[in-house]
């Protein structure tokens, strides 16, 4: 399956380029808002992704920045691409749109999880048990849609060139029996099989390793084919909110944290054997 361009990535690329052009023009956000007759906060909202950029907004900003015809044409095309809908828009009521859009075009995904198996490696039964536990008041239709959306995300692992997936799990993920012994055994077997895939590296941080760099909680680092055009980002999510980190210093901090986790964890081969043993230990 071929990779489909992500409008979320195109929108981010457009925002970054518009900010660069504004800086090159020697204009502040307030200058732009005043000259275009906008509210003073509109430029900041557009550049930070808090509001969607329309083609008209883009064209007005490009004219003000006196960009070349070539840049104006390419960025107008980028603005149109950013307005398209990804497959995940069909699940907009149950999916974190921004994250799935960023994930869709990633060439490398590095994640630490302390509570449960990451969505990309969940079996359907495990996903259903996790979603039901977290949304006990949801009706059957909502649960079904959330499960379907989570399974649809896994299609990126079947791309012609899948992303490099490097997952570090706390041992608590392995020991917590989700959905009952049978569901958990199947899930651990799935993880053990995933260890054999060339695009997936999986490590487990054992309880015996003690405190580690990510005691504060899980996070995901997404990297892209061109780190200059599309710099890596860090995504942190919990039930209350989500946080997207893009500053170089922030991303560097989490990359270092992930390196420390890998050093604390069992190596991939040992982790695979550990997962297989854990599956065998579960009762029938």
Q: What is the pLDDT of residues 164-204, one digit of tens each?
A: 999 999 999 999 999 999 999 999 999 999 999 999 999 99
Has residue 161 been placed in a domain? yes
Helix (H), strand (E) at residue 83: none
Q: Which domain holds residue 13?
A: 7-82
Of the CA atoms within 13 Å of residue 131, those in its CB half-sphere come to 24
Is the confidence at residue 248, as pLDDT, over 60? yes
* Residues 150, 119 contacting (CB under 8 angstroms): yes
Can you tell me the distance from the alpha carbon of 35 to that of 63, in angstroms, rounded to the nearest whole number? 11
Are 61 and 32 found together in one domain? yes
33 has pLDDT over 90: yes
Q: How many structural domains comprise the chain? A: 2
Predicted pLDDT at 117: 97
Rounded CA separation 21/60 (Å): 13
For residues 158 and 268, membership in a common domain is answered with yes
Same domain? For 162 and 267 the reply is yes
Is 80 exceeded by the pLDDT of residue 2?
no
Structure tokens at 156: 């990126």
244 bridge partner residues: 235
Q: How far is CA 45 from the centre of its chain?
A: 21
Question: Are residues 189 and 249 part of one domain?
Answer: yes
pLDDT-based confidence at 84, cuts 50/70/90? confident
Residue 87 within a domain: no
Listed residue (245, 218, 256) closest to 102, CA to CA? 245
For 43-48, the CB contacts below 8 A with 24+ separation are 46/15, 46/18, 47/15, 47/18, 47/19, 47/22, 48/15
Residue 66 falls within a domain, yes or no? yes
Measured between alpha carbons, how far is residue 246 from residues 152, 185, 232 in Å?
A: 26, 37, 7
Look at residues 32, 55, 82 and tell me which one is the last residue of a structural domain.
82
Q: Tokens 């969940």 appear where?
A: 122
Provide the pLDDT confidence category of residue 96 given band limits of 50, 70 and 90: low
Helices (H), the chain: 7-24, 29-36, 42-47, 55-64, 69-82, 97-104, 124-134, 140-153, 171-175, 181-194, 248-264, 268-281
Rounded-to-integer distance, Cα 171 and Cα 204, Å: 6
User: What number is the average pLDDT over the span 99-127?
Assistant: 95
């Amino acid at each position: 399956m071929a990779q489909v361009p992500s409008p979320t990535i195109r929108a981010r690329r457009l925002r970054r380029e518009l900010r660069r052009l504004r800086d090159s023009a020697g204009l502040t956000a307030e200058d732009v808002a005043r000259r275009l007759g906008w509210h003073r906060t509109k430029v900041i909202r557009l550049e930070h992704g808090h509001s969607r950029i329309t083609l008209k907004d883009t064209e007005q900003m490009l004219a003000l920045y006196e960009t070349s015809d070539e840049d104006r044409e390419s960025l107008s095309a980028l603005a149109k691409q950013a307005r398209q809908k990804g497959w995940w828009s069909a699940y907009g009521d149950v999916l974190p749109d921004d994250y799935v859009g960023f994930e869709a075009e990633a060439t490398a995904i590095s994640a630490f999880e302390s509570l449960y198996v990451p969505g990309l490696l969940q079996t359907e039964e495990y996903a259903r048990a996790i979603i039901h536990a977290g949304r006990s008041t949801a009706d059957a239709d909502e649960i079904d849609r959330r499960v379907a959306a989570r399974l649809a995300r896994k299609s990126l692992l079947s791309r012609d060139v899948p992303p490099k997936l490097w997952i570090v799990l706390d041992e608590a993920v392995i020991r917590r029996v989700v959905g009952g012994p049978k569901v958990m055994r199947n899930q651990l077997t799935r993880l053990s099989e995933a260890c054999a895939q060339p695009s997936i590296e999986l490590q487990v941080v054992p309880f015996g390793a003690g405190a580690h760099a990510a005691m504060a909680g899980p996070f995901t680092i997404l990297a892209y084919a061109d780190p200059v055009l599309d710099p890596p980002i860090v995504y942190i999510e919990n039930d209350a909110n989500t946080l997207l980190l893009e500053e170089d210093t922030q991303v560097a901090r989490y990359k270092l944290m992930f390196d420390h986790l890998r050093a604390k964890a069992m190596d991939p081969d040992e982790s695979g054997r550990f997962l297989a043993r854990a599956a065998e230990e579960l009762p029938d």
